[in-house]
Amino acid sequence: MAKQDGKMVPSYSYTTRLINFSEKRNWGYSKFIKRQVLEKSEHLRDDSFTVRFDVTVMKDIHTQGTPIIVVPPSDMHRQFGDLLLSKEGADVKFRVRKKTFSTHRSVLAARSPVFKKMLLGPMKEGTTTSAIPIDDMEAEVFGALLTFMYTDELPDMQEQEESEMVQHLLVAADRYNLERLKLICEEKLCKHIDTGSAATILALAEQHNCHGLKEACFDFLGASTALKAIMENDGFEYLTKNCPNILKELVSKGISG
């Protein structure tokens, strides 16, 4: 509403419809008054004018008189975690080293396309009567993998053990096509890059197509003042033998010893 000497100007007084600010951010009148009209108007005094807004806050008629309802956060992850621990309804077993894990094929199939093909596809024959052997993974890693698949969370880990465990989990995540777990592992490993681990983590990133983790390693190597020490450890020797293209990338990025 335009004002002149404290009084309303009827020709430029408008009322908007009821606005819900949680749904609409832009509101009002885009053509309140044309500039040339305003410049010639008696309402413009000393190159200034006043606009008054009256805002009325309406009470939500839908909740008026209704008691406040508090919806608790989802506890599905806890319920599925309890299902894994209780083994109730488990219908498929895995033998990892000397430990047996009882699981639910429907849960694993829903989480991983690799497990889905293994447990529900043509390969499922023989997965009901005997435990499926997994010989290239430690039991602790497989247990952590199952925890994530059932709860979407990683188990608690000691800080000094986290880097090694997460490296193994990244390999498992890539193997079973668990993209979110793979990205979580990448993010965690970015915090563990140092002179002792940079070469090993870079090799891991290269072998499992972890582009973000790979760039984090390059950034560390490019800024590191201890590059010579990194090149002398066993991890760098493994890197040069198994990931020769990495050396070309290091040189192309201007990172060399």
Domain with residue 254: its CATH number is 1.25.40.420
Q: Is the pLDDT of residue 147 over 90?
A: yes
**pLDDT above 90 (res 133):** yes
The verdict on 171 and 92 lying in the same domain is yes
Angstrom distances, CA of residue 73 to CA of 78, 91, 152, 153, 239: 11, 30, 15, 15, 45
Q: What is the pLDDT of residue 22?
A: 65
105 pLDDT above the threshold of 90:
yes
* Residue 24 belongs to domain spanning: 1-57
Query: End-to-end CA distance of the chain, in Å?
Result: 71
Whole-Å CA distances, 158 to 27, 141, 164, 168, 257: 53, 14, 11, 15, 34
Quick one: pLDDT at residue 201? 92
Structural domain count, the chain: 3
Q: Are residues 158 and 214 in the same domain?
A: no
Percentage of the chain exceeding pLDDT 90:
46
Q: Is the pLDDT of residue 99 over 70?
A: yes
pTM above 0.85, yes or no: no
Confidence of residue 119 (pLDDT cuts 50, 70, 90): very high
* 46 and 83 belong to one structural domain: no
Q: Which pLDDT value is given to residue 3?
A: 47
Mean pLDDT of the chain: 82
Residue 241 in domain: yes
Residues 144 and 96 in one domain: yes
